[in-house]
Each structure stands twice: as C-alpha cells, then as structure tokens.
Amino acid sequence: MAAHQKVSSDKYTELVSGGLGRELAKRLGLPQPAVLRRFTPGVPLVQGPILVVGHSAGADAVSAVLLSWGQDVRRHATPRDTLGAIVLVLDELAHPDQLSAPLREVGGALRDLQRNGRIVGISRQADAQDTPEAAAARNAVDGILRSLAKELRAGATANGVVLANGTAADAPSTMSALRFFLSARSAFVDGQFLTASSEGSATEPNWDRPLEGRVAVVTGAARGIGASIARTLARDGAKVVAVDVPAAGDQLAAVANEVHGTALQLDITATEAGARILDHAAQRHGRLDIVVHNAGITRDKLLANMDAARWDSVIAVNIAAQLRINQALLASSHFADHPRIISVSSTSGIAGNRGQTNYAASKAGVIGMVRATAPLLAEKGGTVNAVAPGFIETAMTAKIPFATREVARRLNSLQQGGRPEDVAEAIAYFASEASAGVTANILRVCGQNLVGQ
C-alpha cells in the first residue's frame, strides 16, 4: 500500500470539536467548526429520520423512493423528534405566496436537525416560458437555500436539486442528486445546486459499486487531489488509468499499484496526448468510459508582473490540453458508451483571486468548455460536468503562511478546509451511471465559500 502524501491538519477544528475546547470557543465567541461526517462504505445514508415537507404528488413520489431505500420517512414534524434530514419538495411552486407555509414548517423543525444533518430542496427551473409569478417563486428558492446554508451549524448543509423542464420530482436523475446531497459523500458541499433532467435509466443503480466495469482515466493522479480521485473511483468499482508527467513516475506507479490500475507517464500538453490516452485504455481495457481532467498548475503573479512563460504554461496545462484531449475523445469509437467527462475547475474561476489572472482565466475557461461540450457529448449519451474546489487541505495549501491559511479555512459556512476526498466524491458522483441526467453542471466543493455564488 502506497503511503499517502502528508497534508496539513486542522488542529483548531480538532481542538474545538468537543469537551473543554468546544466550551472555551463558545465562551470566547470563536468559530466552532464541526468534525464532518464523511463517507465510509456500509454506513447508513442518513443518520436519523427524514422529514419530507410538501403536499404535491411529487412529494409523495419522493417519499416513496426514500422508503424504498430503507429510510425512516416522516411527513409531519413532531416536536423534539431528532431528524437526520429535511427534504423540501416545491415542484409545483407557482407564486411567491406559496413559499410561506412550507418554509415555516422547515423553520420549525430546524432545531431538531442532528449534527451533520442535511436539508435538500427540490424545485423547478425558472425560464422564459414561466409566468413572472412562477419565475419569481422558483428563483426565490435559490436565495432561500443559499441563505439557510449560512444559518446552519454543527456540520449541517443545505443544497438544492433543480428540475429541468418536464422532469419529474422522482426521476432517476433527480433521485441520484438527492441521494448524493443526503449522503456523507457531500460533506463539504454546501449552498449548491444540481440541475437534473429526465434523462437516465430507470434501473436501480448499484449504490455500493456504482462504477463497476467502467474504465476511468485520471490526469494529475500522482499526488494530492488526483491520487484521491483515483482511489475513490477504484473503490467504487472502476478500472483506473493514472496519468501524470514522467517526473512523477515513482509516485504515479505507487498510486496505480495501490488502486490495482495502470500508470501512463504523459505530458498532457503534447499534441498526441489524447491519442495516447485512448490507445493505452483500449490496449489494456478495450474501452474508455470516464475521463477526469484534474491536472493543473499555478504560476502566480500580479498581472503587472506576469511574463509570457507564466501565462502560457498555465493556459497550456489547465485548459488548452483539455480541449485537445476532448477533441480526440469525441472522435473516438472507444469513448462512446454513455461516456463521462469531469473537469476540475476552481472557485478562483468563479470569483477571481488576486495574483491569479492566468489561473482564474484557465479555470473560468474550463467552465465555458464544459457548458459548450455538453450538447456534443449528449450525442453519445454522455455527460460533462465540472467540480470547483475551494480551500482544500493538500500539501500545496500546507505551504501557505499560517495566518493566511487559517483565514482561508474559516471563510466558508462550514468554517474549515475541505479534504481531497471531498472533491473525489463529487467527481465519482458525476462519473456514475445514476447521474446520466445531470450535465453541464458546475458544482462547488468549498463549504459555501463566502466568495462567488
């Protein structure tokens, strides 16, 4: 078993997670981040009953699916009845006046939500065909859930599933997104939304091994987030091809051996990178189903001091390489069975960051690429999405000066940094067959960072 790369530890969160440390932080008015419940195979989906709020046929259908998953479902709140999650179904919302009753019901149950509890809203997409009243009501849900996420404590999160036109509240893609948000896989995802369509198989997925039989390529897999992605995809059943530069060969081989996959030493900026990835996957596994564009670099400088080498190298690795590789994938018959592309963007690409005009440009470029590639991949029955991490505890962030690192950790609703596995879990969700109706989404894994959306 390969040794995992050592990263910085959030000693403060450990200190205030219980006992005298928690009491002292409370008395002094200091942040009290909770130890987050992260995914472990075999653990329950939710710790406690799930309250389903809503009186539509969609709410009844969602309740039925939750019951089929073996969950303890409640349709009415009972005072002091400890809850693991609250699911708010607003699929028939047509006017802002209809928000008051269900939101007051949710508000009355919040004190009964357990530590690391979940709130998930299910609502419809607002578009130009709606009446002004319906569009106002549906868009209001965005503000409600993002604000509620900032009010929750003790590791609880609030997220939303948005139904595209014609999508049922209990459609397979809706339920897969709901399951992700309810689970411990989404521990560091807060105040975010996934848009689900009616696409997808009605066959019940293999929730324990959702990637069984699939072949996945992960770039930048030798260390950090990339290595965690490789481990998570392998845990979920995928055969993994770990890709990184030749200089990282030893670490890359260790990761590949650990996940019982294969290693491919490759400079992804090379013109033939896409062809080499496809050839390797075809020769070793006969196919390629999932590509995770994780490889990325930073070369930070204020724009006034930015030279061509710093700018060009970041663009070449972080976005131009992805574009060329995707062209090869789209043209290949080996990448044609409901394929998945998942790119790693960044909150810097959403909100910007001082000294990172080159990096922010590349990561914002990833977002544009994903949205434009979605209809092209749909022709193959595939999807493309992106994950945008915030502050993640890695060997790279461990080098940030202590005071700056502490501020960065606390500037989100969960008041702590994420872990590489938090990013990996989101990518594994997008890679699964259950997410077939979820495409062109940009999911922030940032604990609801206080910048951007």
- The CATH number of the domain holding residue 157 is 3.40.50.720
In a domain? residue 419: yes
Please list, in sequence order, all residues whose beta carbon lies within 8 angstroms of the beta carbon of residue 324, skipping any fewer than 6 positions away.
Answer: 271, 273, 274
Tell me what pLDDT residue 2 has.
Answer: 42
Within 13 Å, how many C-alpha atoms sit on residue 413's CB side? 29
- Strand 73-74, strand 50-53: pairing: parallel
> For residues 198-216, b (16+ Cβ closer than 10 Å) or e, as one string?
ebbeeeebeeeebbeebbb
In a domain? residue 368: yes
Q: How many domains does the chain have?
A: 2
Q: How far apart are CA 51 and CA 73, in angstroms?
A: 6
Q: What is the DSSP letter of 305?
A: G
In a domain? residue 26: no
Tell me what pLDDT residue 1 has.
Answer: 36
Q: How far apart are CA 375 and CA 39, in angstroms?
A: 32
Tell me what pLDDT residue 8 has.
Answer: 55
In a domain? residue 38: no
> For residues 407-435, b (16+ Cβ closer than 10 Å) or e, as one string?
eebbbbbbbbbbbbbbbbbbbbbbbbbbb
CA 394 to chain centre: 17
Q: What are phi and psi of 447, to 5 degrees?
A: 65, 20
In a domain? residue 9: no
Helix (H, G, I), strand (E, B) or coil at 219: strand
226 and 184 in a common domain: no
Which amino acid appears at position 134 of this protein?
A: A
Tell me what pLDDT residue 7 has.
Answer: 55
Q: Are 140 and 100 in contact (CB under 8 A)?
A: no
183 and 220 in a common domain: no
**CA triplet 48, 49, 52: central angle to 5 degrees?**
140
192 and 228 in a common domain: no
In a domain? residue 299: yes
Tell me what pLDDT residue 19 has.
Answer: 73
158 and 129 in a common domain: yes
Tell me what pLDDT residue 241 has.
Answer: 98
Q: How far apart are CA 48 and CA 80, in angstroms?
A: 13
Q: How far apart are CA 172 and CA 433, in angstroms?
A: 10
278 and 409 in a common domain: yes
Active site residue 359: yes
Residue of 181, 311, 359, 391 marked catalytic = 359
412 and 329 in a common domain: yes
Sign of CA dihedral 52, 56, 62, 63: positive
Q: Are 318 and 298 in contact (CB under 8 A)?
A: no
258 and 161 in a common domain: no
134 and 61 in a common domain: yes
Which domain does 424 fall in, by range? 215-445
Tell me what pLDDT residue 422 has.
Answer: 98
Tell me what pLDDT residue 3 has.
Answer: 43
Tell me what pLDDT residue 381 has.
Answer: 93
Tell me what pLDDT residue 14 has.
Answer: 73
First to last CA, the chain: 39
In a domain? residue 30: no
228 and 104 in a common domain: no
What is the pTM (predicted TM-score) of this model?
0.94
Which is nearest to 207 in space by CA: 42, 35, 379? 42
Q: Give, in order, the Cα–Cα distances in Å from 62 to each of 47, 78, 137, 164, 295.
A: 18, 20, 21, 16, 38
Within 13 Å, how many C-alpha atoms sit on residue 213's CB side? 4
362 and 298 in a common domain: yes
222 and 183 in a common domain: no
Which is nearest to 263 in space by CA: 279, 280, 247? 280
Tell me what pLDDT residue 143 has.
Answer: 97
What is the radius of gyration, based on Cα positions, of the chain? 22
- Tokens 């990637």 belong to 211
In a domain? residue 433: yes
Tens place of pLDDT per residue across the chain (453 aa): 344 555 556 777 777 777 777 777 677 777 778 899 999 998 999 999 999 999 999 999 999 999 999 999 999 988 888 999 999 999 999 999 999 999 999 999 999 999 999 999 999 999 888 999 999 999 999 999 999 999 999 999 999 999 999 999 999 999 999 999 999 999 999 999 999 998 776 678 899 999 999 999 999 999 999 999 999 999 999 999 999 999 999 999 999 999 999 999 999 999 999 999 999 999 999 999 999 999 999 999 999 999 999 999 999 999 999 999 999 999 999 999 999 999 999 999 999 999 999 999 999 999 999 999 999 999 899 999 999 999 999 887 888 788 888 888 889 999 999 999 999 999 999 999 999 999 999 999 999 987 555
Which is nearest to 219 in space by CA: 166, 305, 108, 297? 297
Tell me what pLDDT residue 395 has.
Answer: 84
